[in-house]
Structure 1
Amino acid sequence: MNASQKAYDQLIARLKQAALLSSCSAILEWDEQTYLPADGASHRADQLSMMAGMVHQEATSPETGDLLNELESASEWEEDSVEQANIREARHEYDRMTKLPRQLVEELSRVATLSHHAWVKARKENQFNDFLPWLEKMIGLKREQAASLGSEGQTAYDALLDEYEPGATSEMIEQAFTPLRNELVKLVSAIKESGIVPDVSLLTRKYPVAKQREFSLSAAEKIGFDFNAGRLDIAAHPFCSGIGPGDCRLTTRYDEHHFPGAFFGTLHEAGHGIYEQGLLKEYFGTPVGSSTSLGIHESQSRMWENLVGRSRPFWNCFYQSAQQQFPEALADVAQDDFYRAINDVRPSYIRVEADEVTYNLHIMLRFELEQALISGDLQPADVEAAWNEKFTSYFGITPDTPANGCLQDVHWSAGLIGYFPTYALGNMYAAHFFNAADSELGGLDDLIARGEFGPLKEWLNQKIHQHGKRYRANRLLEVVTGETLSHVPLVDQLNRKYGELYNL
């Protein structure tokens, strides 16, 4: 074994040690959002703060820096090799982490836990002012974090964005969003002018929660989520947590009188879970054993939720089962009426329940607001008014309650500033990937209609999941599809689907 290989093995061992500590925190965070008694929030905040400090200490050890220096001076690492990618991404993360004081890392973790519980209560009671002190604390800490992380010429927001979409900038995102926004506005207008209004009341009939859970679990398993290596629970805001090899946790939420929420939410989180389960176990704890970016992660969840789950072929396969599961609600409903209802396009308050066409406008609104929050152009106390004003401008309706407005998302309570743009990026990536899979697999519609989801899942495993962070997002897109990121594939898909639904 030469000196470089020895140093590389030592680096990998250190990375895996830090990842094991992080996975312990992930379990505590999952429990916090699923089963933790409300009175345990303060103690859990102390636990997670301590764990965050321990992870930070492990991840920023001088020994790791010395190993990276030694490995970067070696010349035998081939471009795009596993070793080169692990060294490159380990350096990127090490440099980010060493800029952050341990005390700040611990405080961010502590406040995120307490802030989350304050958000849950404030959302339930529709009281933005009850959450405001915690939002002010969190935004202050995120500004401090951005100041620590920022490099010359980088905006404070971009310093935070880099955690979720490495290498991306707000300018690049705005360049992608602007033409997408223009095309979506045109499509929404055309749909409104069509005069076609699906009957969505059939989705608010009685759908017993136990039956919803059974049906959602069956669909998630059918598309490829392995419940021997995962589980599904309830949380205030749906999420997926990849704890580690063989342990992936999904959550959803149920409403007896709203079928799409839990069902499509479960498909969405199962898409995240399939990605987590598709990472190579032998690389756990290393960059190549971790997801590329949140934009790529969202491409997987949005693909299974929308491009598969809301498609006509999917319901050609599943609708008879749905009628059997929910006879009281669906026995007298034609499949085409159901399909039109689940693909109804109209302005709505809740992002996670929005249709495919208006969804990205929800993201753009949040992208603009959180940039202003971090720059200081918007103060936390003004968020509710700014949200409502911008929402009215985007959608032509004004949120009737904070829970339907600025309190609907968990992200800001958890300090996830810079996360939101990745959802719209994910939609664009998904369109590229779906087209490539459709071409290479000889037509996905027929496979989906027959309930044969394995070929698509395996294609995603091989083309995307198993690479982890071997490639950055744009490079991965190029390797898989030969294309660069564009709004065109997504707009083309939406125009085809909704042109048929609304006779455009």
Structure 2
Amino acid sequence: MMQEAYRWLWEHSRETAYLASFGRLAGWDQATYIPRKGHAHRAQMQAALAKLLHQRATDPRVGEMLAVVEGSDWLGPPESVEAVNVREWRRAYDHACKIPQRLAVELAQATSEGEAIWQQARPKNDWEAFRPTLKKIFGLTRELADAIGYQDEPYDALLDQYEPGATTKQLEPVFARLRQATVELLKRLDGSTRKPDTSILHRHFPQSAQEAFGREVVAKIGFDLEAGRLDVVAHPFMQGIGPGDVRLTTRYYEDYFNAGFFGIVHEMGHGLYGQGLLPEHFGTPMGSEISLGIHESQSRTWENLVARSLGFWRHFWPRAQQHFSSLGDVRLEDFHFAINEVKPSLIRVEADEVTYNLHIMIRFEVELALLRGELSIDDVPEAWDTKYQEYLGVRSAEIRDGVMQDVHWSAGLIGYFPTYTLGNLYAAQFFARAEQELGSLEAQFAQGEFTPLLEWTRKNIHHQGSRYWPRDLVRVVTGQDLNPQFLIDNLNLKYSALYAV
């Protein structure tokens, strides 16, 4: 009976995952190739699918089958495949049952419409066109938090969807420590007389050459292009449709190297995680990423710790000069310094490694204030600009470079932004552990050897699926709890050397 109940849950979970794959495919298409007039119909499609998925997620038979298998010795130890699946199925079922179907459908439709409105309004700096939609999405999201329930903060109910077990109370001291260290480092770097020549990054870089070089790099690192795609969008993302289908996107500027290249490598990091999940577990928790923070640790590892290292470019520099004639007279060391420039800026996705987390903290604080009722949607643009002035010393002249720059809020991803900084923290700690076990990684990169690090992450992170919650995974892999000092030390060591301070 127990085995039959488990088998039913397993099949139900996989079938639900196949349906969800259709939704991800529709979402990818909406961001890439959908006709401009197709958005309204796509919103209705996504709403209908959300209704179906919610019905499956709250099917009373799921609860009945879980009751049969839970607590059984047949499941084995807590870390076994069966025990992990049952644990996470229970978590997902209890969560879904708290959300009224009406709310799930309304959110799906509002966010699908919201993304389309954002795409059209942002280039026009049209806050008034976007503001009502954003107000509606935040209203529905607050309703979602209340439906899920929370102990201390409405925000915790949302954060827990993306980072299981995380709370505002946990994050605030970690973020405060990182913020202080970042501000201190920025002051030291600002006092340096050594500055990079970033004009070399604004020469001519043909889009076709950027794409060709990007494809060459990701293939060399280990991303399977026969099981993936690379396309152009307004806001880069990775979409895992399922085994054998993991899609990357980026955006190119022919007068700026960093945006396209590091966008590709960043999304490739996400894509490697998607391709590293064990296909035999597809559709079950053991075949799923445990959190967005762990996901982000993978993209940040490859973007910052690998692709911004001097060793990486010692290997790829000859090929870069062959792809881009504009780099023919550039010294490798000057290029490496330029791509690692530290300069406060407005755009999060183009921010340097040091200032990036301040962008996240601003969004985290604005979201908290909105969910607490301390800030209204109408006042968000001014609050946003004030925080940017305070934290980074810059202020947006156009709202598309301010509060409207990110797609996330229009997509309903509220409580999501902290996972970016958590990803940076996890990445530094994982990388330090990998280097303890594998030896100097930068020396390996200089030789074009990326397989050891990729295999290490596959074994220790990707193949673990949802076996451990994020902070438990950090403890299992590194032997200690999350510690921001790894990232702080990494940034201080690297940038003190670059800027000679």
Using structure 2 for the length normalisation, give the TM-score. 0.99
Which whole-Å CA distance do the structure 2 matches of 1:73 and 1:189 have between them?
55
Quick one: distance in 2 between partners of 1:131 and 1:255? 26
1:287 aligned residue: 285
What is residue 145 of structure 2 aligned with on the other side? 146
Q: Distance in 1 between matches of 2:168 and 2:303?
A: 26
Aligned-residue offset at 1:195: 2.3
Read off the aligned partner of 2:160 and give its amino acid letter.
D
Aligned to 1:215: 213
> Residue 489 of structure 2 is aligned with which of 488, 492, 497?
492
The residue identity in structure 2 corresponding to 1:294 is L
Query: In the alignment, what sits opposite 2:55?
Result: 57
Mapped pair 1:406 → 2:437: no
Aligned partner of 2:11 in structure 1 is 13
Provide the residue aligned with 2:344 in structure 1.
347
Residues 1:385 and 2:397 aligned together? no
- 2 CA distance for matches of 1:362 and 1:306? 16
Q: In the alignment, is residue 361 of structure 1 matched against residue 358 of structure 2?
A: yes
Instruction: Spell out, residue by residue over 1:263-306, the C-alpha distance to the aligned partner (whole angstroms, 9 max, x if none).
Output: 00100000000000000000001011000111100000000000
1:132 aligns with 2:121: no
Structure 1 counterpart of 2:370, from 368, 373, 377? 373
**Alignment-mate amino acid for residue 336 of structure 1:** E
1:69-110 deviations in Å (ceiling 9; x for gaps): 111132333121111111111111111111111111111111
Q: Which runs of 5+ in 1 are unaligned?
A: none
Counterpart position of 2:82: 83
Name the % identity. Answer: 50
* Counterpart in the other structure of 1:191: 189
**Aligned to 2:73, what secondary structure does the other structure show?**
coil
> Which position in structure 2 is the counterpart of 1:433?
430
- Supply the AA of the counterpart residue of 1:149: I
Aligned equivalents of 1:39, 1:79: Cα separation in 2: 50
Partners of 2:341 and 2:436 in 1: CA distance: 28
State the partner residue of 1:452: 449
Q: Is 1:337 matched with 2:339?
A: no
2:419 corresponds to: 422
Q: 2:263 maps to what in 1?
A: 265
Q: Which residue of 2 aligns with 1:256?
A: 254
The corresponding residue for 2:475 is: 478
**What SS is found at the alignment partner of 2:241?**
strand
Q: Hey, what does 2:273 align to over in structure 1?
A: 275
1:222-259, Cα deviation, whole Å (9 max, x unpaired): 11111111101111110011111111111111111111
Runs of at least 4 residues of structure 1 off by over 6 A?
A: none
Task: Name the SS for the 1:194 alignment partner.
Answer: coil
1:362-415 Cα shifts (integer Å, max 9, x gaps): 000000001111222111111111100111000111112112111111100000
CA RMSD of aligned residues (A): 0.9
Provide the residue aligned with 2:105 in structure 1.
Answer: 106
Aligned partners of 1:43, 1:468: CA distance in 2, in Å?
Answer: 35
SS of the counterpart of 1:163?
helix
Deviations 1:452-501 (A, max 9, x none): 11111111111100010011111111111101101101111111110110
> What residue number does 2:172 align with?
174
Q: The residue matched to 1:167 in structure 2 has which SS?
A: coil
| Deviation for aligned residue 1:347 | 0.4
1: distance between equivalents of 2:497 and 2:423? 24
Equivalents in 2 of 1:207, 1:198: separation in Å? 19
Alpha-carbon distance, 1:446 to partner: 1.4
Distance 1:256 1:408 in 2: 20
Instruction: Give the corresponding residue for 1:314.
Output: 312
Question: Aligned partner of 1:320: which letter?
Answer: P
Within 1, Cα distance between the matches of 2:126 and 2:254?
Answer: 24
Count residues in correspondence: 500
Residue type at the aligned position of 2:462: H
